[in-house]
Amino acid sequence: MESCFINKNVDTMRKYFLDNLRWILVLLLFPFHTFRIYSTFENFYIHGPPNLILTGFIIFIGPWFMALLFVIAGISAYHSLQKRNSKEFLKERVFRLFVPFVSGLILLIPIQTFFAEKFHNGFTGSYFSQLITFFTKFGDLSGYTGGFTPGHLWFILYLFLISLIALAIIRLYENSSWNLNFNKTSTIKLIPLFLIFLIMEPILDIGGKSLGAFLALFLLGYFLLSSDKIQGNLEKNKWYLTSIFLICSVITLLIFPYWNTGIFIDCFLAFLIWMAILSLIGLGKKYLSFHNKWSEYFTKASYPIFIFHQTWIVVVAYYTFLFTSSLILQVIIILFGSFILTIISYEISKRIKLTRFLFGIKE
């Protein structure tokens, strides 16, 4: 069923810039999770000496890059529902999200907590004895020092749940008398919409990951940022938006050591996230609308790369710390070692029918 808030002549051709933006964001997870090993303000499965420069990178991209992935997922859902009915969409969500989440939770995440137990707690037992601990030891759900955690697969679980909730909202809207047309929405009118997901932030906020806020971002992607006209406006105003985004990022880097949580900081971060989303969609529309063999490869590989990458980062980091104490050498080995092993895992998995099913890999 075609949504009535978009012109019926909307261009439904594949948006390569969204594909490219998505896989670039996924590849950013390699430095992001590697650098978290050296964070000055949080723990991780493996933790090294804190480093301010590497922490700066975490602070720069940390607030917005997962939020942008949820927005892109919402835009993609809009295009998906132009070709699928509700039953087909739900079936695709089950096989592409829920099955890989359960598979990863059983097969991959316990590997991360095994090495966390060894590193932080001096665990000397077998992997299988730790597996019992994984499913019985409940703490803050981070799993950074062992115990149960969804790990980085929280994103897949959230996206699955959000897809179910959003589908119900979308169908209710389509069956209502409402007729929203956002094509005439100017860029300046988009800016205050950061208040929507700010208001939704307290809803099911688990460990700093708000299902309410990510649902709001998904729906903003679906209803608003899927519009070709709005994407075109963001492209035209990309440098104004990017300037605001970068100024806010610099402020964040400067004040981060001194801030406390509060309504002002929450508002500022929500504004920063929204400016990052708007500017990067505008920049992506301008500079990432291309298609070649590399972009095609990483478009197909980005999802399994996301699933496999953090497990390999933790494994490589654990053994790298035994090998060298040089921070530069550690970072290089962890970054390139985990990337290579992740690509190998993808290449092997995509050739086996069972692993393609378990990890949602398209042929």
Question: Which pLDDT value is given to residue 184?
Answer: 75
Domain ranges of the chain: 16-358
| For residues 194-203, average pLDDT | 93
- What integer is the mean pLDDT of 312-341? 97
What letter does residue 208 receive in the DSSP assignment? T
pLDDT for 204-257, tens place per residue?
988 889 999 999 999 999 999 999 999 999 999 999 999 999 999 999 999 887
Look at residue 288 and tell me whether its pLDDT is greater than 50: yes
Q: How large is the average pLDDT for residues 263-292?
A: 94
Q: Is 206 helix (H, G, I), strand (E, B) or coil?
A: strand
Other beta carbons within 10 Å of 22: 23
The answer, yes or no, to whether residue 2 has pLDDT greater than 60, is no
Residue 45 has pLDDT above 60, yes or no: yes
Q: Distance (Å, rounded) from C-alpha 272 to C-alpha 64?
A: 8
Q: Where are the beta strands (DSSP E) in the chain?
A: 205-206, 209-210
pLDDT, residue 6, reads: 32
Check pLDDT > 50 for residue 7.
no
Please write the tens of the pLDDT for every residue from 10-28: 344 578 999 999 999 999 9
Q: What is the pLDDT of residues 118-175, one digit of tens each?
A: 999 999 999 999 999 899 888 778 888 888 999 999 999 999 999 999 999 999 988 8
**Cα–Cα distance list, 127 to 105, 106, 205 (Å):** 15, 13, 32
Query: Where residue 3 falls among pLDDT bands split at 50, 70, 90?
Result: very low
Angular region, 272: left φ>0, alpha ψ -120 to 50, beta rest: alpha
Q: What is the mean pLDDT of residues 87-104?
A: 96
What share of the chain has pLDDT > 90, as a percent? 79
Q: What pTM, to 2 d.p., does this model score?
A: 0.93
Q: Which two tokens stand for residue 226?
A: 């899927």
pLDDT at 4: 33
Task: Give the CA angle between residues 133, 134, 139 to the nearest 5°.
Answer: 95
Torsion angles phi and psi, residue 273, rounded to 5: -60, -45
